[in-house]
Amino acid sequence: MISLSINNQRVDVETDPGTPLLWVLREHLGLVGTRFGCGAGMCGACTVHIDGTAYFACQTPVGDVADGQVVTIEGLSDQGDHPVQRAWIAEQVPQCGYCQSGQIMRAAALLARNPKPSREEIVEEMSANLCRCGTYARIVRAIERAAEEA
C-alpha cells in the first residue's frame, strides 16, 4: 500500500512502487485529465506538479512520490480559474485539446517560479511539451497574458 497526497487529499493505493504515477492517477484514482501521450517522457501530455515542479507522470514511479505533494490538472484550481486557465480560454489556445492539460500544468509551474518570464524563457520551458496541432503561438500569448494578469 502506498499513501500519496494528490490534489491536497491523502489517498492510499495498492500497487507496485514502480508503477508509473500516470497509471495510478488514471486507472486507480480516475483522474483522467492527465493524459497518456507517448509513455516515454517526450510529449508532456502527462505533466503534473510534484512539490511545485513539472514532471512527466509517465516516467515517475509512484513509489518516488509517496512523500511529495502531487497536483494534477484537476487540482490546479477548485473553480478552474487559475490565471493560466483563464488565459488559455481568452487566447483560445486549444485546437484538439489533447495536450492542453500538460501544457497548462507546465505553464503554471513556470509562472510559479518565474512570475514574469521573457518570451525566450517561455519558449524554452514549453519546448518540453508537444502540441500536435501547432498552437504554440497561442500558448506563448496565453502565458504572457497570465503573467500580466497575475
Which residues belong to CATH 1.10.150.120 in the chain? 81-147
Helix, strand or coil for residue 94? coil
Which pLDDT score is estimated for 141?
A: 98
Say how many CA atoms lie within 13 Å of 108 toward its Cβ.
Answer: 29
CB 84 within 8 A of CB 47: no
Domain formed by 81-147, architecture:
Orthogonal Bundle (1.10)
Q: Read off the pLDDT of each residue in 56-70 and give the average, rounded to a whole number.
A: 96
C-alpha 60, offset from chain centre: 13
CATH of domain 1-73: 3.10.20.30
* Segment 17-32 mean pLDDT: 98
* Residue 150 pLDDT greater than 90, yes or no: no
Distance in angstroms (rounded) separating the CA atoms of residues 150 and 51:
21
Indicate the pLDDT class of residue 46, thresholds 50, 70 and 90. Answer: very high
Extract the C-alpha cell encoding 87: 488565459
User: pLDDT confidence of 124, banded at 50, 70, 90?
Assistant: very high
Q: Is the pLDDT of residue 67 over 90?
A: no
In the chain, ranges of CATH 3.10.20.30 domains:
1-73
Model confidence at 45: pLDDT above 80: yes
Question: Which is higher by pLDDT, 67 or 139?
Answer: 139
Sign of CA dihedral 39, 44, 86, 137: negative
> What average pLDDT does the structure give for the chain?
97
Q: In this structure, how many other beta carbons lie within 10 angstroms of the beta carbon of residue 46?
A: 30
pLDDT tens for each residue of 79-116: 999 999 999 999 999 999 999 999 999 999 999 999 99
Residue 14 pLDDT grade (very low, low, confident, very high; cuts 50, 70, 90): very high
Give the DSSP letter of residue 29. S
